[in-house]
């Protein structure tokens, strides 16, 4: 993982982060019926694994998540709880040395949006159901599909060089 920090005065870093934010938001918005709701197969979430390789992806991914969540039917909750869940997942991912374990942090962070749903619906039954659906969806996208893709990409030295030098 890159130990380089964030330099918000570096135009190159800002442009790259904006591109990552746009990519996350566009992928999410391309499949709205899959990206929002109780079962969220949000394929843009595969990008969160980039943080495992380089923490400099965090600002762009957070911004992309923040922007994409505005398209949700419950935007206020998704913007707040979903973005915060991503932030917490990123803080755990950057401390992990194993990709599979790192992929579980976005899954576990789904408890945050489920709490938002609980607040909205005021139902403990809805909380448990939504939590299960959110976590299973995130597990499928990040821990199964995402790891499969990144294990293939790890063999591409040119790609990994770009990721590590972001």
As beta bridge partners, residue 2 has 54
- N-term to C-term CA, the chain: 11
User: Which tokens sit at 10?
Assistant: 């570096």
pLDDT at 166 over 90: yes
The 10s digit of each residue's pLDDT in 28-43 is 999 999 998 878 899 9
The 10s digit of each residue's pLDDT in 129-139 is 888 998 999 99
pLDDT at residue 62, as a whole number: 98
Beta strands per DSSP E along the chain: none
pTM of structure: 0.91
Please state the rounded mean pLDDT for residues 65-94: 93
Per-residue pLDDT band for 112 (boundaries 50, 70, 90) equals confident
CA-to-CA distance for 40 and 85, rounded, in angstroms? 14
User: Which tokens sit at 57?
Assistant: 């992806």
- Please state, as a whole number, how many other Cβ atoms lie within 10 Å of the Cβ of residue 127: 18
Q: Which residues contact 113 (CB under 8 A, 6 or more apart)?
A: 77, 78, 81, 82, 85, 130, 134
């Amino acid at each position: 993982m890159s130990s380089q920090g964030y330099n918000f005065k570096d135009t190159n870093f800002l442009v790259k982060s904006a591109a990552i934010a746009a990519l996350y938001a566009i992928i999410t918005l391309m499949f709205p019926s899959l990206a929002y709701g109780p079962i969220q197969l949000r394929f843009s979430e595969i990008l969160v694994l980039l943080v495992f390789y380089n923490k400099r992806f965090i600002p762009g991914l957070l911004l992309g998540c923040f922007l994409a969540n505005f398209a949700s039917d419950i935007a206020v909750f998704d913007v707040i709880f979903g973005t915060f869940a991503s932030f917490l997942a990123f803080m755990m991912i950057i401390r992990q040395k194993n990709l599979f374990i790192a992929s579980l942090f976005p899954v576990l962070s789904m408890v945050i949006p489920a709490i938002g749903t609980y607040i909205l619906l005021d139902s403990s039954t809805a909380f448990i159901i939504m939590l299960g659906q959110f976590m299973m969806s995130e597990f499928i996208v990040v821990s199964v599909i995402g790891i499969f893709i990144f294990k293939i990409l790890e063999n591409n030295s040119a790609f990994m060089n770009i990721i590590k030098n972001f």
